[in-house]
Amino acid sequence: MAENSSSGGSSMASAPARSDDPAWAHGQVVVGAKNSCICVHCSKRINGGGITRLKYHLAGIKGQVEACKKVPPDVKWQMKQLIEDLTMEKEKRKRLRIDIGNSQSLSNDEVEEGDSVNPTSSDIGSQASKRLTMQGTSANRKKTTLFVPRNTPNSQPSIKSAMASKEKEHNARKVIARWWYDVNVPFNGAKSYYYQPMIDAIASMGPGFKGPSYHDLRGPLLKDVVHDVHEYLFEIKADWKLYGCSIMADGWSNRRNVPIVNFLAYSPRGTIFLKSVDTSGLRKDKETLLEMFDEVVKEVGQENIVQFVSDNESAFKAAGKALQQRYGTFFWSPCAAHCIDLMLENISDPRYFPMIDETIKKARNITKFIYNHAWVLALMRKDFTNGNDLCRPGITRFATHFLSIQCLLKFKKELRQMFTCMKWVESSHGKSKVGKEITAIILQDKDFWPRCEHIVKVSEPLVRVLRLADSEEKPSMGYLYEAMDKAKEAIKTRLKNRVSQYGPYIRVIDARWDKQLHSPLHAAGCFLNPGIYFRPSFTKQKEVTRGLLSTITRLVPDCDTQDLISGQLEEYKKATGDFGMPLAIRQREKLNPVAWWEQFGNDTQELQKFAIRILSQCCSATGCERNWSIFEFIHSKRRNRLEHKRLSDLVFVRYNLRIQQRNLSKTRDALDPISLDNIDLLNEWICEEPSLLDGDDISWETIEAPLSTLTLEDEETCFDEENIELGGNDQLLECLVDDFPYIPPQDQDPYFYVNDGDDV
């Protein structure tokens, strides 16, 4: 084998002769070492086991060999499939051997039933014919054979039957697709958590099963599902007495420009949809919104509410503060995600940061060109980015801008290789005017990539805070205060602590934080988070203490309870009692703050209850997802009272099932930017623009789905690598001297430009 595959005296060789195993495309044989090979992705030598251990290495399956850290996602998936097929084949062979053994045993038993154990030659023919006759006529005797029958479940199917089953499966899929297109169901409906269970339930009923009728769907079945959803929500609401909840209000307009306000309630157990209100016939002023908010408070229960969250639009802010004053037992808080998004918007404002605005426009030209030409997109995905895409939607529009810049920078090397490869140079796109313009940006523009690096350095800490504020995996109240301080320090460090460099950005952040986002509730959360408060580097104990005292005064109306909490605070600050146990100290940063208080706060029950309610809250109203299709039919001028109630139930079910589905399924599917499902946030990065079009390359059916998408871990690794590469890059700052420092006149200072709550 070594002689056949080695060449030029090399110590390694490719696949052995006559081997058609696809795994050999990713491994090389070690000449002279039996069953040893080397992974072509990470260069790890695998001794013994041959191609099988190489598959385990590439698939990342533990127990056999160390997993490959550099294998592309599509190869990893392929290797897992090969291993699964191999395992199934082994099981099939094992069952076949057992069946054959049983058949032989049965045959021997039949022989023993005869008159002679050692029959003579004259008896053999008669016994054989007798056995055949008995097997053909007796219904109670099993057929004797040394081979598994074709119709048994564990048998190897014939080629004809296998082809027939594949054709049958394809026809079944086509029938589903025909119904799908006829009723105009969005394609992302196939991602529903309830999609496969529905198909399994139908298949279990067998042929002839009649689906629910039109009347069943809009009548008794809807009633049953509404009941099930209420049962699910009842379990969540039961925890409000202990953990409290945050009411989230979000105002927006649907596709018919009908203004709608959604109300949701957040708690650690899960977010639930309360109701949706059509405000098209109402004035969206302070008084109207106040009464609307008041109704929601009464429905949920004043005693269960810790905060009421809305965006910073002036009417919402005025109504929220009036509501806070009316009850006096909870806070109104601005949406943290909205405020941070406004920071990102200010940083890309051409009035103050024209360099950033110009760079984002160039980056958008690159992605628009690629995503509007099938051949170019296929070339990029297949040959250079391993199925990854250049754009991904963020929580907000401006987060999308900066995340897409970050993705573009991650694939800088691959893009430069792509636009210099022979396929591109010899293609019609590479010779076109537009193609040459895009190539010039990627290869010849000396400012573009350094500016992208600069933008990522500034924006990435804020995008991380935005993701934290929007997270539903854990309450963010105990982390936001410290996260904002860390983001500002990170920007200063990345810009070499030069005031002329970081000054304008910090002014923008401070303006939004000081004038809009800062709340005593955030400070109290920081104080009560042991992982932050007891950290030696934390220096704002006095500052957060003021916010804590303000929060106690508002959320705990009983004076005696306030006194008890104040006294118990000393035990927490001095870490005495259970708070000073070695276990409690070790778990400060390991445990979720709520779980930490539940374990170690039993000696200070009043403080424990207060801390748990504070630390269990969210910081933003982005849980009010804009599921446009859910509201298309509910809010309309034409109304029938009975039908309106039915549609209200339908919205209630759809929204809460969507939230429940998101809680059940934490994995993220690969993003397809050319899908309309993502068009709202990505339209500025992928929608066609006449000046960037080149020919009629619109063969969308040839585009394969993206194989993978960036995860948070990928982004962290990506930026850590950038920090290593750019850590001492003073040349980058020098090349930006023409654009920075930008110190605006006082009347144009971003700090004074930010309005106090008038942003929509």
Assess whether pLDDT exceeds 80 at residue 286: yes
Instruction: Grade residue 579 by pLDDT with cuts at 50, 70 and 90.
Output: very high
Assess whether pLDDT exceeds 60 at residue 10: no
Asked whether the beta carbons of 261 and 251 are under 8 A apart, the reply is: yes
Instruction: Grade residue 472 by pLDDT with cuts at 50, 70 and 90.
Output: low
Assess whether pLDDT exceeds 90 at residue 243: yes
Assess whether pLDDT exceeds 70 at residue 12: no
CA distance 435 to 366: 10
Assess whether pLDDT exceeds 60 at residue 359: yes
Assess whether pLDDT exceeds 70 at residue 161: no
Q: What is the pLDDT of residue 50?
A: 79
Sheet of strand 27-30, all strands in order from the earlier edge strand to the far edge: 12-13, 27-30, 37-39, 45-46
CA distance 168 to 175: 11
CA distance 614 to 61: 42
Per-residue pLDDT of 420-458, as tens digits, reads: 999 999 998 888 898 999 999 999 999 999 999 999 999
Per-residue pLDDT of 654-701, as tens digits, reads: 878 877 776 665 544 444 444 444 434 455 555 555 555 556 655 545
Which of 5-9, 60-64, 296-300, 525-529 is least confident?
5-9
The CA R_g of the chain, rounded to the nearest whole Å, is: 33
Pairwise pLDDT comparison (46 vs 580), residue with the higher score: 580
Q: What is the pLDDT of residue 47?
A: 82
* Exposure on the CB side of residue 189, measured as CA atoms within 13 A: 14
Burial 572-584 (b: 16+ CB within 10 A, else e): beeeebebeeeeb
DSSP state of 687: S
All domains in the chain, ordered by first residue: 2-83 (no CATH), 166-207 (no CATH), 225-331+623-664 (3.30.420), 343-518+696-752 (no CATH), 538-615 (no CATH)
Pairwise pLDDT comparison (288 vs 739), residue with the higher score: 288
Assess whether pLDDT exceeds 60 at residue 2: no
Highest-confidence segment of 210-219, 279-288, 569-578, 712-721: 569-578
Per-residue pLDDT of 709-734, as tens digits, reads: 444 334 443 444 333 333 334 444 44
Assess whether pLDDT exceeds 80 at residue 745: no
Q: What is the pLDDT of residue 738?
A: 38
| pTM (two decimals) | 0.66
Instruction: Grade residue 396 by pLDDT with cuts at 50, 70 and 90.
Output: low
**What's the chain's average pLDDT?**
76
Q: What is the pLDDT of residue 674?
A: 40
Q: What is the pLDDT of residue 641?
A: 58
Mean pLDDT for 162-170 is 75
CA distance 177 to 650: 24
Per-residue pLDDT of 190-207, as tens digits, reads: 878 888 889 888 888 888
The SS3 call for residue 331 is strand
User: 275 - beta bridge partners?
Assistant: 263
**DSSP H stretches of helix in 286-388:** 286-300, 314-327, 336-347, 354-371, 374-383
Pairwise pLDDT comparison (213 vs 398), residue with the higher score: 213
Instruction: Grade residue 639 by pLDDT with cuts at 50, 70 and 90.
Output: low
Pairwise pLDDT comparison (281 vs 326), residue with the higher score: 326
DSSP state of 83: H
Assess whether pLDDT exceeds 50 at residue 145: no
Q: What is the pLDDT of residue 89?
A: 80
Q: What is the pLDDT of residue 403?
A: 83
Q: How far is CA 654 from the centre of its chain?
A: 20
Mean pLDDT for 557-581 is 92
The SS3 call for residue 657 is helix
Pairwise pLDDT comparison (94 vs 402), residue with the higher score: 402
Assess whether pLDDT exceeds 80 at residue 702: no
Q: What is the pLDDT of residue 709?
A: 47
Highest-confidence segment of 148-157, 396-405, 748-757: 396-405
CA distance 246 to 236: 13
Q: What is the pLDDT of residue 121?
A: 44
| Site of tokens 């193609």 | 435
CA distance 619 to 282: 28
| Site of tokens 């054989």 | 128
Q: What is the pLDDT of residue 256?
A: 64
Counting residues of the chain whose pLDDT is more than 90, the rounded percentage is: 23
Assess whether pLDDT exceeds 60 at residue 217: yes
Prior bond of 741 cis (ω within 30°): yes
Mean pLDDT for 144-150 is 36
Q: What is the pLDDT of residue 129?
A: 45
Q: Which of 462, 451, 522 is nearest to 488 (CA)?
A: 462
Q: What is the pLDDT of residue 664?
A: 61
Residue 38 is inside which H or E element, if any? strand 37-39
Instruction: Grade residue 113 by pLDDT with cuts at 50, 70 and 90.
Output: very low
Instruction: Grade residue 149 by pLDDT with cuts at 50, 70 and 90.
Output: very low
Highest-confidence segment of 394-398, 493-497, 611-615: 611-615
Assess whether pLDDT exceeds 70 at residue 103: no
Counting residues of the chain whose pLDDT is more than 70, the rounded percentage is: 70
* Exposure on the CB side of residue 103, measured as CA atoms within 13 A: 13
Sheet of strand 331-334, all strands in order from the earlier edge strand to the far edge: 272-278, 259-266, 245-253, 305-310, 331-334
Assess whether pLDDT exceeds 50 at residue 393: yes
Assess whether pLDDT exceeds 80 at residue 132: no
Assess whether pLDDT exceeds 70 at residue 27: yes
Output phi, psi for 486, to 5 deg.
-65, -40
Q: What is the pLDDT of residue 136?
A: 43
Per-residue pLDDT of 477-531, as tens digits, reads: 989 989 999 999 999 999 888 888 888 889 889 888 888 888 899 999 999 999 9
Pairwise pLDDT comparison (75 vs 146), residue with the higher score: 75
